[in-house]
Amino acid sequence: MSSKPSPPDPARTTPAVRPSGRPVLLGPPRGRPQPLPQLRRWLRVVGPGLVTGAADDDPSGIGTYSQAGAAFGTGQLWLALYMLPLLIAVQEMCARIGLVTGTGLAAVVRRHYSRRVLYVAVGLVLVANTLNIGADLGAMAATVQLLVPVVPFLLLLVTLSLGILALEVFVPYRRYAVVLKLLALSLLAYVATGLIIGPRGVALIRATVVPHLELTPTFLALVVGVLGTTISPYLFFWQASEEVEELANGPSSARRPGGLRQQRLLLLAQIRALRIDTALGMLASEVATWFIIFTTGSVLHTHGITNITTADQAAAALEPLVHTFPYAGLFAKVIFAVGILGVGLLGIPVLAGSAAYAVAEAFHWHEGLARNFLQAPGFYAVIGTATLVGMGLNLLRINPILALVYSAVINGVVAVPLLVLILLVANNRAIMGGHTNGRLANAVGTLTVLAMGAAAIAAVVLFVRG
């Protein structure tokens, strides 16, 4: 047998497998055992699911979860548990659509459903993501200033904005994907902070398992905020498109010989790997959410601090209140702040990138992080515009809380029709072939649409009432 490796094929696909006529990857599924060091093996197993889950806990999300803990203690811990199956179901459908069709979510909707609905949704997602980027950049700059007070806010803001933008534009996709996966480890900061605080026994388990409701505007507004922050449209577009990027540009994209049956088995293996990756990513996201609510609820709420507007405020408030062991407060503040920076470095590229994928796919532009600027100018123009406008919102002293309120309302409204379209695509045999939803996926997906619909109505009502 020849030891000469198989030459790479530019197409890397065969049109015979995908029901939509799109190509299928001919390389080995993610997670296949390889003689690699442990870190590289782990990075091959995990993929877009872990990155998406970690990006879900961006600085704006941390601020929302911190406010939930500060305002109501452990009263909203149960949300992390009950949102988990909804989040897994939605993101698995988005990822499977990308894997099976070989195209991003917006491209599939553009080809098979109402373009008018898609264009409106994509436009609103671009606005919401830009507002969210602005709030995240401001929170990150304030967090660095918390750790290094002598550095001016403006310098930190500009440096972070341009640095993140440069990473997206100039770092090759394979290296950039590894960077994103490593940044997902930032979620461990919130687990570490929670461990410093210490356990709370049976009452904590009860607060996690048994839903607690208060029929007050403030409580309901935070439930809506947590739900809207967790199940957001930008995650839908990002994971579907990143599955396509991973297949086309990952280390397993080279052509390997095999018949039609082998290719189908390979696609099934890839779907299984995708589900594991997505479940792990969403689990990591909700574990981090749980620990953030637990930490702020156990410390800030207990000491009478019930109003947290940004993530950096939550980090600063921990230091004088945590006394588990000597310097525990300082450790808690620093670790919490490092987590904000890590997920911010991850979340902002995902926000900007998801907006760029959505716009480029909706208008049939060249797109993808694997392309350079000259190959996909419109795609990178959206990334640059969203990031720089987000930076500008801070320079104009736009209230970050107001920006997040607008973003939450927009996301809540846009999520509902997008979720309906995702369900339609995931059940369309002409698009998905034999890889359509099962009964469980449809049941949980429908429940998610109803929950997000109720949240959208509540968000609009609360917004109108001020």
Domains in the chain and their CATH numbers?
Answer: 43-253+295-465 (1.20.1740.10)
CB-neighbour burial class of residue 392 (10 A; exposed 0-12, middle 13-18, buried 19+): middle
Quick count: other Cβ atoms within 10 Å of Cβ 283? 16
Q: Calculate the alpha carbon distances from 394 to 18, 49, 139, 350, 402 in Å.
A: 45, 30, 10, 19, 12
Backbone angles phi, psi at 25, to 5 degrees: -65, 140
Contacts of 157-162 with CB under 8 Å at 24 or more apart are 157/391, 157/394, 157/395, 158/391, 160/344, 161/137, 161/387, 161/388, 161/390, 161/391
Token pair for 145? 């200033």
Q: From the CA atom positions of the chain, what is the Rg in Å? A: 22
Q: Say if residues 69 and 206 touch (Cβ distance below 8 Å).
A: no
CA distance 21 to 1: 34
Which contiguous run of DSSP H or E holds residue 53?
Answer: helix 48-55
Backbone angles phi, psi at 335, to 5 degrees: -65, -45
Amino acid making up residue 299: V
State the pTM of this model: 0.86
Q: Return the closest-CA partner of residue 250 out of 176, 157, 161, 304.
A: 176
Q: Return the closest-CA partner of residue 94 out of 133, 127, 48.
A: 48
**Confidence at residue 103, expressed as pLDDT on a 0 to 100 scale:** 92
The b-or-e profile of 103-137 (16+ CB within 10 A means b, else e) is bbbbbbbbeeeeeeebeebbebbbbbbbbbbbbbb
Q: What angle do CA 381, 382, 384 make, to 5 degrees?
A: 65
pLDDT in tens, the chain (466 residues): 444 444 444 444 444 455 555 554 444 444 444 444 555 555 555 688 999 999 999 998 998 999 999 999 999 999 999 999 999 999 999 999 999 999 999 999 999 988 888 999 999 999 999 999 999 999 999 999 999 999 999 999 999 999 999 999 998 877 888 888 888 888 899 999 988 887 778 889 999 999 999 888 889 888 988 998 899 999 999 999 999 988 776 554 444 455 677 878 888 888 999 999 999 999 999 999 999 999 999 999 989 998 888 888 899 999 998 888 888 899 999 999 999 999 999 999 999 999 999 999 999 999 998 899 999 999 999 999 999 999 999 998 877 777 877 887 888 888 999 999 999 999 999 999 889 999 999 999 999 999 999 888 888 887 777 6
**Confidence at residue 11, expressed as pLDDT on a 0 to 100 scale:** 41
Q: Say if residues 291 and 119 touch (Cβ distance below 8 Å).
A: no
Give the model confidence (pLDDT) of 128-162 as tens digits. Answer: 999 999 999 999 999 999 999 999 999 999 999 99
362 CA to centre of own chain = 20
**Confidence at residue 344, expressed as pLDDT on a 0 to 100 scale:** 92
